[in-house]
């Protein structure tokens, strides 16, 4: 099993991505309009991002592809390249969908 995430931080499920981005933008605009102290903004931004992480599926656990066909299907499913890395905190394998222009 391996965790897969998007480089952009958007939800894995494309059907949630637009709604997530609208909510993210609206929330941060309100935050910056209501606060001027950057320390307060930073703390509230962290809390808001955590709320969004809980609400939207920003990561998914999948089986590691065991064949060339399975790899091709995974790449086709996400219509993007996938980078393999190791999670800095857990040391576990991590797939990162490169959804920010690199294909």
What pLDDT is recorded for position 100?
83
Residue 71 neighbours by CB distance under 10 Å: 13
Strand duo 59-62 + 2-6: pairing: antiparallel
Judge whether 58 and 40 are in contact, CB under 8 Å.
Answer: no
Alpha-carbon gap, residue 79 to 85, rounded angstroms: 19
**Both structure tokens of 37:** 């102290």
**Residue 103 reports pLDDT greater than 70:** no
Residue-level length of the chain: 103
Q: What is the pTM of this model?
A: 0.76
pLDDT digits (tens, 9 = 90+) for 33-72: 887 788 888 888 889 988 988 899 889 999 999 999 999 9
Distance CA 46, CA 42 (A): 6
Q: What is the pLDDT of residue 39?
A: 86
Residue 102, pLDDT above cutoff 60: no
């Amino acid at each position: 099993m391996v965790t897969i995430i998007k480089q952009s931080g958007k939800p894995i499920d494309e059907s949630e991505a637009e709604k997530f981005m609208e909510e993210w933008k609206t929330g941060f605009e309100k935050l910056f309009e209501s606060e001027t102290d950057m320390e307060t903004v930073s703390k509230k931004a962290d809390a808001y991002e955590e709320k969004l992480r809980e609400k939207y599926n920003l990561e998914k656990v999948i089986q590691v592809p065991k064949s060339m066909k399975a790899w091709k299907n995974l790449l086709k499913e996400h219509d993007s390249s996938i980078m393999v890395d190791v999670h800095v905190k857990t040391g576990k394998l991590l797939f990162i969908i490169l959804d920010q222009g690199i294909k």
